[in-house]
Chains A and B, each alone.
Chain A
Amino acid sequence: MSLIKSGLNLTRLGSLPYLLFGLFSSLLSGRVFAVQPFNMPKGVTEISNEVYHLHMLIFWICVIMGVVVFGVMLVSILLHRKSRGHKAAQFHESTTVEIIWTVLPFIILIGMAIPATKTLIAMEDTSNSDMTIKVTGYQWLWQYEYLDEGVSFYSALTTPREEIYNQQQKNEHYLLQVDNELILPVGKKIRLLITSNDVLHAWWVPDLAVKKDAIPGYINEIWTKIDKPGVYRGQCAELCGRDHGFMPIVVRALEQNEYDQWLDKKKSATEEEVANAVDQQTQS
């Protein structure tokens, strides 16, 4: 008896305060009715939509299989118990049943594989792109080079240290904000060449369903075509050292004319910079 009591005391002392603290802190923080995102975003490209639907398709297939298998198990647990006086049957084989439950999952798998293959083939087709951008990962920031335009810049985290070390209120885009966003036009097939200058990184924007490793010595290809103007945020997805959690990706998709304006401004700024640098060199 005293042993049971001591066991209960353990739980009372240990886990309950944490449980209550966790529950209350989320209840009291005033976000009771604001459910935080819990599913894959549909995203803003044709591919990201396909991927989302593929994800939901497999998810529901798994749910159905789970309901059937766990349902049978539950019925068995409720009915076939010794305490209800159920006598154990002694069967232990049935070739027919075993063939059925080998072949049936196989057929379901083929049903999943067909749409998955179609989407995969589309994702890997980088031909006929309208423009190319080279993305290079560094510890711990990104570089974007517009290969046909001669524009290039670095993109690093701007969240202030005070926010990270809890001396200041965290803003909405905490850890997902950068100094120079990657500006892209909507409706264009954009080819991204992804590489790294030091260790492995991975360039990932969930709304575009693009994730590709950045590997030194390799140039990986991927493409995207954004349907909707907006700001899309992502993060480095491959462990790359101390500040792996602090090298976000921000993509701003603009209408073509706005994009052209931005590009012109960026180009002249770049030319000015080059001219200044040349000036300085000739002076010295």
Chain B
Amino acid sequence: MSAVMTDDHHEEHPSFIKRWLFTTNHKDIGTLYLWLALVMFFIGGIMALIIRAELFQPGLQFVDPQFFNSMTTMHALIMIFGVVMPAFTGLANWLIPMMVGATDMALPRLNNWSFWILPFAFSMLLSTLFMEGGAPAGGWTMYPPLSLQTGNALPFLIFAVHFMGMSSIMGAINVIATILNMRAPGMTLMKMPLFVWTWLITAYLLIAVMPVLAGGVTMLLTDKFFGTSFFNAAGGGDPVMFQHIFWFFGHPEVYILILPSFGVVSSIIPTFARKPLFGYSSMVYATASIAFLSFIVWAHHMFTVGMPLAGALFFMFATMLIAVPTGVKVFNWVATMWKGAMTFETPMLFSIAFIILFTIGGFSGLMLAITPADFQYHDTYFVVAHFHYVLVPGSIFAIIAAVYYWLPKWTGHMYNEKLGKLHFWLSAIFVNLTFFPMHFLGLAGMPRRIPDYNLQFTDYNMMATVGAFGFGLAQLLFLYLVMQTIRGGKKATNQVWEGAEGLEWTLSSPPPYHSFTIAPVIK
């Protein structure tokens, strides 16, 4: 009892700024991460809509080609580093301590720091929009020599990337320290919820590859400002080396952006099927295999640079191999649904859409792995369609599903189910209208990252633009729903969902400021 008394001072909330700026609480920091991701989602979304507006018809209507290139570059950077990664870190902060039966994250002050770096990083990145020479326009991949033609924005881009990397690494260290040290007695590794497992593996990936990216962009910096020639052929350097470094980071990064969604979906499907997850241990092994394979497939992003036949064959075979563990996951989810007693609340709808649409993205990924065919697909809208299928109805849908699923726990209020379903159907229809025609565009020969195109590509571009505006507007509904749920609504029970299992559902809704002050015992 005395322990509870002495903890009381944590419960009183100081002024708004003091609370959020100095917070070391995993829930507050989780909330900050999630709001940052949502704000960035709309900023990156506006950039996407500028791109789509320009591409609605052939001809240049709205923007200069240079600004168009800035938009594609910034849209990607914002959506990857500013939306999907912070959203997952936010979910990790909120959920991991509650799922493993801990009071808080293992390193609370580090936690505060890793969040508060990000607003600075993104202010720096976004400030380049107002600089002479414009925002970075060399693609988010920053390939030299083109990226070295960037004006004043280049050092800001590079330092922003450094900041994001630092933040991610510290977040990852915190996740690993929490999972390995703070689990409740009896919770062995193989009893952890799959969300915790996927995040544990993601955290290792982050620690392994963010320094590689940092090294790569630092070499760009010294090439530009300090006379080195790492990537300058005329000085004895090698422009292709940057691509190897970048994609050695970039491919594991792809899985950083998707593994936690596997965890989310593996939590939601069993709840609404009222049936335990099928093949728990094979899910864990599949996640680990995907993580391992992600380190040995990077060159499939650059088959056209001209590599030796043996290299091309190796990267083709290794890439195809990823289909096996990914397939296992999809089969396991379907087997979990099989013979369940399913209901279809909003989180379940988003999760089912995730499985179907992510799998379609997986199929196009398999097609891209086939090197001879990749020569035709590479750098076309087919690739754009592929990665948007795995990232938007993939990662983003999983994040939205997670918000609907855990929001009643976080706020203590149920969201409006009817509006949630409306949001789902609008999102699901428009996301397909946006990205499906892009497959056709790419196959018919439209390169990516072009502001204008031949007349033969008009129809599918129009569809994509209509879809994009519809999808963008539908997300305002999501914002409205979240605000509404925070402000009030039907009181949520502790368990919230009839079929929900796991430690977080044993806590009150909303949960106490410090999750488990007394460690629960796992049977």
Chain A: residues with CB nearer than 8 A to chain B?
3-4, 6-8, 10-11, 14-15, 18-19, 21-23, 25-26, 31, 36-41, 47, 50-51, 54-55, 58-59, 62, 65-66, 69-70, 72-73, 76-77, 80-83, 86-94, 97-98, 101-102, 105-106, 109, 112-113, 116-117, 119-121, 123-124, 163-166, 170, 172-176, 198-200, 202, 204, 206, 209-213, 215-218, 220-221, 234-246
Looking at A164, A234, A239, which has the most chain B CB atoms within 10 Å of its CB? A239
Task: Establish whether residues B366 and A58, one from each chain, have CB atoms under 8 Å apart when the complex forms.
Answer: yes
Q: Is B120's CB within 8 Å of the partner chain A?
A: no
Q: Is B288's CB within 8 Å of the partner chain A?
A: no
Q: Is B306's CB within 8 Å of the partner chain A?
A: yes
Q: Is B187's CB within 8 Å of the partner chain A?
A: no
Q: 16 additional contacts, CB 8 Å, given A109-B324, A241-B66?
A: A11-B474, A25-B462, A36-B459, A62-B364, A66-B363, A69-B334, A77-B342, A81-B343, A88-B275, A98-B328, A116-B316, A170-B455, A211-B375, A212-B304, A213-B305, A220-B305
**B window 131-168: CB within 8 A of A:** 137-139, 143, 145-146, 149
What is the distance, in angstroms, from B416's C-beta to the closest C-beta of chain A?
Answer: 6
Task: Establish whether residues A200 and B371, one from each chain, have CB atoms under 8 Å apart when the complex forms.
Answer: no
Which residues of chain A come closer than 8 Å to B443, judged between CB atoms?
A: 38-40
Looking at A25, A116, A163, A173, which has the most chain B CB atoms within 10 Å of its CB? A116
Q: What 1/0 flags go to B315-348 for Cβ under 8 Å of A?
A: 0110011011001101100111111111110000
What is the distance, in angstroms, from B4's C-beta to the closest C-beta of chain A?
Answer: 38
Chain B: residues with CB nearer than 8 A to chain A?
58-61, 64-66, 69, 137-139, 143, 145-146, 149, 233-234, 238-240, 273-280, 282, 302, 304-306, 309, 312-313, 316-317, 320-321, 323-324, 327-328, 330-331, 334-344, 352, 355-356, 359-360, 363-364, 366-367, 370-373, 375-376, 378-380, 416, 418-419, 422-423, 426, 430, 440, 443-445, 447, 449-460, 462-463, 465-466, 469-470, 473-474, 476-477, 480, 484
- Please judge, given known A-B contacts A92-B277, A92-B278, whether A209 and B375 are in contact too, CB under 8 Å: yes
- Please judge, given known A-B contacts A19-B466, A59-B367, whether A242 and B65 are in contact too, CB under 8 Å: yes
Chosen A-B contacts, 13 in total, with CB atoms closer than 8 Å, are A8-B422, A15-B430, A19-B470, A22-B466, A23-B466, A38-B460, A82-B341, A86-B342, A98-B279, A112-B366, A175-B452, A199-B149, A202-B379
Which residues of chain A come closer than 8 Å to B355, judged between CB atoms?
A: 73
Main secondary structure of the interface of B (DSSP, over half): helix
Task: Establish whether residues A113 and B320, one from each chain, have CB atoms under 8 Å apart when the complex forms.
Answer: yes
- Please judge, given known A-B contacts A62-B366, A218-B306, whether A26 and B459 are in contact too, CB under 8 Å: yes
Q: In whole angstroms, how far apart are the Cα atoms of A73 and B334 in the complex? A: 6
Task: Establish whether residues B339 and A242, one from each chain, have CB atoms under 8 Å apart when the complex forms.
Answer: no
Which residues of chain A come closer than 8 Å to B419, judged between CB atoms?
A: 3-4, 7
- Please judge, given known A-B contacts A22-B466, A62-B367, whether A88 and B375 are in contact too, CB under 8 Å: no
Q: In whole angstroms, how far apart are the Cα atoms of A213 and B375 in the complex? A: 10
What is the distance, in angstroms, from B344's C-beta to the closest C-beta of chain A?
Answer: 8
Task: Establish whether residues B69 and A242, one from each chain, have CB atoms under 8 Å apart when the complex forms.
Answer: yes
Closest to B372 in A: A119
Closest to A59 in B: B367
Task: Establish whether residues A116 and B371, one from each chain, have CB atoms under 8 Å apart when the complex forms.
Answer: yes
- Please judge, given known A-B contacts A25-B462, A213-B304, whether A15 and B470 are in contact too, CB under 8 Å: yes
Task: Establish whether residues A164 and B320, one from each chain, have CB atoms under 8 Å apart when the complex forms.
Answer: no
Task: Establish whether residues B316 and A120, one from each chain, have CB atoms under 8 Å apart when the complex forms.
Answer: yes
Which residues of chain A come closer than 8 Å to B276, judged between CB atoms?
A: 90, 92
Task: Establish whether residues B444 and A105, one from each chain, have CB atoms under 8 Å apart when the complex forms.
Answer: no
Closest to B362 in A: A62
Task: Establish whether residues A77 and B477, one from each chain, have CB atoms under 8 Å apart when the complex forms.
Answer: no
Task: Establish whether residues B473 and A15, one from each chain, have CB atoms under 8 Å apart when the complex forms.
Answer: yes
Which residues of chain B come closer than 8 Å to A241, judged between CB atoms?
A: 66, 69, 137-138, 146, 149
Task: Establish whether residues A81 and B444, one from each chain, have CB atoms under 8 Å apart when the complex forms.
Answer: no
Which residues of chain A come closer than 8 Å to B330, judged between CB atoms?
A: 69
Q: In whole angstroms, how far apart are the Cα atoms of A107 and B418 in the complex? A: 45
Task: Establish whether residues B378 and A237, one from each chain, have CB atoms under 8 Å apart when the complex forms.
Answer: yes
Partner of A245, one of B61, B65, B280, B484: B65
- Please judge, given known A-B contacts A31-B459, A218-B240, whether A88 and B341 are in contact too, CB under 8 Å: yes
What is the distance, in angstroms, from B473's C-beta to the closest C-beta of chain A?
Answer: 3
Task: Establish whether residues B334 and A217, one from each chain, have CB atoms under 8 Å apart when the complex forms.
Answer: no
Q: In whole angstroms, how far apart are the Cα atoms of A246 and B306 in the complex? A: 24
Q: In whole angstroms, how far apart are the Cα atoms of A240 and B476 in the complex? A: 35
What is the distance, in angstroms, from A34's C-beta to the closest C-beta of chain B?
Answer: 9
The 4 closest A-B pairs by CB, nearest first: A217-B233, A245-B450, A14-B473, A15-B470
Q: In whole angstroms, how far apart are the Cα atoms of A72 and B457 in the complex? A: 36
Task: Establish whether residues B370 and A11, one from each chain, have CB atoms under 8 Å apart when the complex forms.
Answer: no
Task: Establish whether residues B376 and A51, one from each chain, have CB atoms under 8 Å apart when the complex forms.
Answer: yes
Partner of A235, one of B58, B145, B341, B447: B447
Task: Establish whether residues A80 and B342, one from each chain, have CB atoms under 8 Å apart when the complex forms.
Answer: yes
Task: Establish whether residues A113 and B317, one from each chain, have CB atoms under 8 Å apart when the complex forms.
Answer: yes
Which residues of chain B come closer than 8 Å to A90, judged between CB atoms?
A: 275-276
Q: In whole angstroms, how far apart are the Cα atoms of A88 and B454 in the complex? A: 54
Q: In whole angstroms, how far apart are the Cα atoms of A229 and B335 in the complex? A: 54
What is the distance, in angstroms, from B124's C-beta to the closest C-beta of chain A?
Answer: 23
Task: Establish whether residues B444 and A199, one from each chain, have CB atoms under 8 Å apart when the complex forms.
Answer: no
Closest to B481 in A: A7
Partner of A216, one of B233, B309, B324, B335: B233
Task: Establish whether residues A245 and B452, one from each chain, have CB atoms under 8 Å apart when the complex forms.
Answer: yes
Task: Establish whether residues B339 and A88, one from each chain, have CB atoms under 8 Å apart when the complex forms.
Answer: yes
Task: Establish whether residues B342 and A82, one from each chain, have CB atoms under 8 Å apart when the complex forms.
Answer: yes
Partner of A88, one of B340, B458, B470: B340
Which residues of chain A come closer than 8 Å to B416, judged between CB atoms?
A: 3-4
Task: Establish whether residues B143 and A38, one from each chain, have CB atoms under 8 Å apart when the complex forms.
Answer: no
Task: Establish whether residues A242 and B430, one from each chain, have CB atoms under 8 Å apart when the complex forms.
Answer: no
